[in-house]
C-alpha cells in the first residue's frame, strides 16, 4: 500500500499562498504577543495601585492606629477585626498590619497573628512605599506596602495589602477571546488577500514551478543570444528592456543598452522611427551605417514592443549585382546586334574587294574602344574603380548615354579601402543613367569626377536630366524613397540612403545641387580614406593588384 506523501508544492501560486499564510499567521501571533504584554503590564499596574489605595485607606484608619498603640497582637483584637472588615469590603486577598518589629497584628489566617512577616518589612517601616508582584504565604499577589503613622507622623508600623494575582489572570483571559476574534478576522482577511494574489500569480505564471521559471529564463537568455536574428524589447517609455548580441551588432551599440532610453542609443532617423513604431508595416527596410536591415515590430500588452531585425546587406548587394549583370547582359545583347552590323559591313567590304577599307574600319573601331579604356586606366589608378568605370561606360554607350570623365578626375594609388568608393560611385552612376535614359534629352550625358583633396576622396556625378526639386533634396537620401518601380528580387529606395550612410561613416557627407546647364550634381566626400605617405607600414590596398 502506497503511503501518502505530503511535500512542498511545485506550483508558484501554491508556494506563494502557503508562504503568505505562514507570514500572516506569524505576524498576527507576534502582534498578539506584543499586545498581550503591555495589557498584562497594565493589569499588573492596576492591581498594584488598587492594593496601594486599600493599604493607604487602612493606614489612615484611626481605629487601626489606636488599636496598634493600645493593644497587643490578638486574633480577636480590634486591629484584626478592622483589617478583616476592610479586606471583606474591598475583596483583597489579605490585609496585614504589622508593628515596628515586623510582627503581624492581622492576617487572613488567625494563626499567623503574632508571628513575624515572611518578607523584609524594613522599607515601609522606614517610611517608603512598595508596589510589587510577589509570592508570599498566600501565594502570588499584587501587593502594596505603606508605612503606618500616628497622629504626630511617626512610623509606628506598616500595612501590607495583596490583590490575588489569579484575578489579574482572569481579567487577562477574559480579554483574550475578543483579542483572538480580532486576530482571527485579520487572519481571514490576510488569507483571502493571499489567495487572490496567489490566484492572480497562477494566471500570470500558468501554474509552473519556480524551478521551471528559472529554467525558462535561462533558456530564453541562451536562445536570444544564440539566434542569428536581432531582438530588441522596449517598454512603454521606449527604454530598452532587452537586447541580444545580434541586435547590438546590427544597431552598432557600443555600450550597455539595457535600461537606457532608445533616443540615447540611436540618432534621429528612419531606423529609430521603425523600431519605435513611428513607421508601421511588415518587413520594413532601414539602413544602419552600411547595413541594410529588415525590421518587424510587435506590440506587447503592457504598452511596450518587441522588434526583430534581420541583416539583408548581402542580399541587397547581391540584388545590386544582379541589376548590374542584367544591365551588362542588356548591353551585351545590344552589342551583339551592333557587332553583327559591323561584321556585315566588314563582309561587304571584303565582297567588294575593298580589303584596305575593311582593315581601316576594323582598326578604327578597335582604337576607339581601347582609347576609352586606356584613358580611364591612366586617370583612375585604382583597378577596382577603373574596372567599374570601364564597365559602366560600355553600358552607358549601349543605352545611348555619353559617360565622360571630367578634366579634374584623377585617383592615385593609396586608398585605404576602395570598396566603399566603388559602392557609392556605382549607385550614383546607375541612378544618373536611369534618369537621363528615361528623359527625352537630345544628348543625354553623365559626367564623373573623382579626385583627392588633402586626405579626402571626393566623388561627384552629374547628369543633364530633369534635376531634383529643392524641397526633395533631403528626402531622396531617406530609406524607401524612390521614383522607380522596385524589381522582383529586392526593394528600391536604399541606394542613396546607403550612399549617405557610407559617407557619414567616414565623417563625410552626401549632398545634391543643381547643375548649371540643367540636371543634378551629387557630391560625396570620404575624409581620411587616403593613406598618408608618412605611415611606417602601408597596408595592402583594397582593389590593388601586385
Domain shared by 249 and 142, yes or no: no
Residue 427 falls inside a structural domain: yes
CATH number of the CATH domain containing 300: 3.30.450.20
Domain shared by 159 and 298, yes or no: no
Question: Residue 485 pLDDT more than 60?
Answer: no
pLDDT of residue 92: 87
CA distances in angstroms from 243 to 224, 256, 258, 292, 504, listed in the order given: 8, 9, 7, 19, 25
For 28-58, write each residue's pLDDT tens digit: 777 666 666 666 677 778 888 888 999 888 8
Domain shared by 354 and 503, yes or no: yes
Higher pLDDT: 490 or 195? It is 195
Domain boundary among 311, 336, 368: 311
Q: What percent of the chain has pLDDT over 90?
A: 6
Domain shared by 335 and 291, yes or no: no
Domain shared by 123 and 249, yes or no: no
Helix (H, G, I), strand (E, B) or coil at 291: strand
Domain shared by 288 and 382, yes or no: no
Domain boundary among 253, 283, 311: 311
Per DSSP, the residues of 406-464 read -TT-BB-S-BS--HHHHHHHHHHHHHHHHHHHTS--SS-EEEEEEEEETTEEEEEEEE-
For 411-462, write each residue's pLDDT tens digit: 888 776 777 888 888 889 888 888 887 777 778 889 999 998 888 899 999 9
Question: Residue 538 pLDDT more than 50?
Answer: no
Question: Residue 517 pLDDT more than 90?
Answer: no
Residue 3 falls inside a structural domain: no
Residue 216 falls inside a structural domain: no
pLDDT of residue 542: 36
Domain boundary among 311, 345, 365: 311
Residue 540 falls inside a structural domain: no
pLDDT of residue 455: 81
Higher pLDDT: 369 or 502? It is 502
- pLDDT tier at 546 (50, 70, 90 boundaries)? very low
Domain shared by 357 and 291, yes or no: no
Closest CA to 451 of 380, 500, 391, 509: 380
Domain shared by 106 and 160, yes or no: yes
- 257: domain range? 227-311
Domain shared by 422 and 519, yes or no: yes
* Total domains in the fold of the chain: 3
Residue 190 falls inside a structural domain: no
Cell of 330: 542588356
For 301-326, write each residue's pLDDT tens digit: 888 898 888 877 666 556 556 655 66
Residue 200 falls inside a structural domain: no
- Please give the mean pLDDT across all residues of the chain: 76
Residue 134 falls inside a structural domain: yes
Question: Residue 168 pLDDT more than 70?
Answer: no
Helix (H, G, I), strand (E, B) or coil at 519: coil
Domain shared by 470 and 490, yes or no: yes
pLDDT of residue 316: 58
- pLDDT tier at 534 (50, 70, 90 boundaries)? very low
Residue recorded with cell 506550483: 11
pLDDT of residue 374: 75
Residue 8 falls inside a structural domain: no
Taking residues 239-252, report their average pLDDT.
84
Taking residues 255-265, report their average pLDDT.
84
Higher pLDDT: 459 or 295? It is 459
CB 148 within 8 A of CB 102: no
Taking residues 153-171, report their average pLDDT.
77
- pLDDT tier at 338 (50, 70, 90 boundaries)? low
For 90-104, write each residue's pLDDT tens digit: 888 889 999 998 899
pLDDT of residue 461: 94
Domain shared by 127 and 269, yes or no: no
CATH number of the CATH domain containing 445: 3.30.565.10
Q: What percent of the chain has pLDDT over 70?
A: 71
Domain shared by 243 and 373, yes or no: no
Amino acid at each position: 500500500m502506497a503511503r501518502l506523501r505530503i511535500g512542498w508544492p511545485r506550483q508558484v501560486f501554491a508556494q506563494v499562498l502557503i508562504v503568505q499564510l505562514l507570514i500572516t499567521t506569524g505576524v498576527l501571533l507576534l502582534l498578539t504577543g506584543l499586545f498581550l504584554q503591555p495589557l498584562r503590564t497594565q493589569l499588573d499596574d492596576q492591581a498594584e495601585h488598587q492594593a496601594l489605595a486599600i493599604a493607604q485607606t487602612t493606614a489612615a484608619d484611626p481605629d487601626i492606629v489606636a488599636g496598634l498603640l493600645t493593644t497587643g497582637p490578638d486574633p480577636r483584637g480590634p486591629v484584626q477585626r478592622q483589617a478583616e472588615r476592610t479586606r471583606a469590603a474591598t475583596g483583597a486577598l489579605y490585609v496585614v498590619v504589622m508593628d515596628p518589629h515586623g510582627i503581624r497584628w492581622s492576617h487572613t489566617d488567625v494563626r499567623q497573628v503574632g508571628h513575624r512577616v515572611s518578607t523584609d518589612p524594613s522599607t515601609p517601616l522606614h517610611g517608603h512605599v512598595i508596589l510589587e508582584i510577589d509570592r508570599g504565604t498566600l501565594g502570588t499577589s499584587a501587593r502594596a506596602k505603606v508605612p503606618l503613622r500616628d497622629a504626630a507622623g511617626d512610623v509606628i508600623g506598616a500595612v501590607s495589602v495583596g490583590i490575588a494575582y489569579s484575578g489579574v489572570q482572569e481579567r487577562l483571559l477574559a480579554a483574550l477571546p475578543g483579542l483572538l476574534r480580532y486576530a482571527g478576522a485579520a487572519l481571514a482577511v490576510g488569507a483571502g488577500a493571499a489567495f487572490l494574489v496567489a490566484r492572480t500569480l497562477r494566471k500570470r505564471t500558468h501554474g509552473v514551478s519556480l524551478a521551471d521559471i528559472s529554467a525558462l529564463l535561462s533558456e530564453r537568455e541562451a536562445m536570444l543570444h544564440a539566434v542569428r536574428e536581432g531582438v530588441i524589447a522596449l517598454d512603454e517609455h521606449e527604454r530598452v528592456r532587452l537586447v541580444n548580441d545580434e541586435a547590438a551588432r546590427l544597431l552598432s551599440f557600443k555600450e550597455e543598452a539595457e535600461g537606457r532610453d532608445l533616443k540615447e542609443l540611436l540618432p534621429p532617423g528612419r531606423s529609430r522611427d521603425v523600431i519605435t513604431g513611428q513607421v508601421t508595416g511588415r518587413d520594413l527596410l532601414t539602413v544602419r551605417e552600411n547595413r541594410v536591415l529588415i525590421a518587424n515590430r510587435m506590440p506587447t500588452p503592457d504598452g511596450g514592443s518587441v522588434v526583430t531585425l534581420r541583416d539583408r546587406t548581402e542580399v541587397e548587394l547581391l540584388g545590386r549585382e544582379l541589376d548590374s549583370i542584367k544591365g551588362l547582359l542588356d548591353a551585351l545583347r545590344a552589342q551583339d546586334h551592333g557587332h553583327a552590323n559591323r561584321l556585315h559591313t566588314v563582309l561587304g567590304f571584303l565582297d567588294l574587294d575593298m580589303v584596305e577599307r575593311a582593315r581601316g574600319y576594323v582598326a578604327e573601331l578597335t582604337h576607339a574602344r581601347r582609347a576609352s579604356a586606356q584613358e580611364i586606366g591612366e586617370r583612375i589608378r585604382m583597378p577596382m574603380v577603373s574596372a567599374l568605370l570601364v564597365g559602366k561606360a560600355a553600358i552607358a554607350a549601349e543605352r545611348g548615354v555619353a559617360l565622360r570623365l571630367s578634366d579634374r578626375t584623377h585617383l592615385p594609388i593609396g586608398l585605404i579601402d576602395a570598396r566603399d568608393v566603388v559602392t557609392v560611385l556605382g549607385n550614383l552612376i546607375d541612378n544618373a543613367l536611369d534618369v537621363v535614359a528615361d528623359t527625352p534629352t537630345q544628348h543625354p550625358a553623365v559626367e564623373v569626377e573623382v579626385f583627392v583633396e588633402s586626405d579626402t576622396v571626393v566623388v561627384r556625378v552629374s547628369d543633364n536630366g530633369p534635376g531634383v526639386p529643392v524641397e526633395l533634396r533631403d528626402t531622396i537620401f531617406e530609406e524607401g524613397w524612390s521614383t522607380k518601380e522596385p524589381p522582383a528580387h529586392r526593394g528600391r529606395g536604399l541606394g542613396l540612403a546607403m550612399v549617405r550612410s557610407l559617407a557619414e561613416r567616414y565623417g563625410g557627407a552626401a549632398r545634391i545641387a543643381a547643375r548649371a546647364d540643367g540636371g543634378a550634381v551629387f557630391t560625396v566626400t570620404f575624409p581620411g580614406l587616403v593613406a598618408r605617405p608618412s605611415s611606417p607600414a602601408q597596408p595592402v590596398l583594397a582593389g590593388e593588384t601586385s
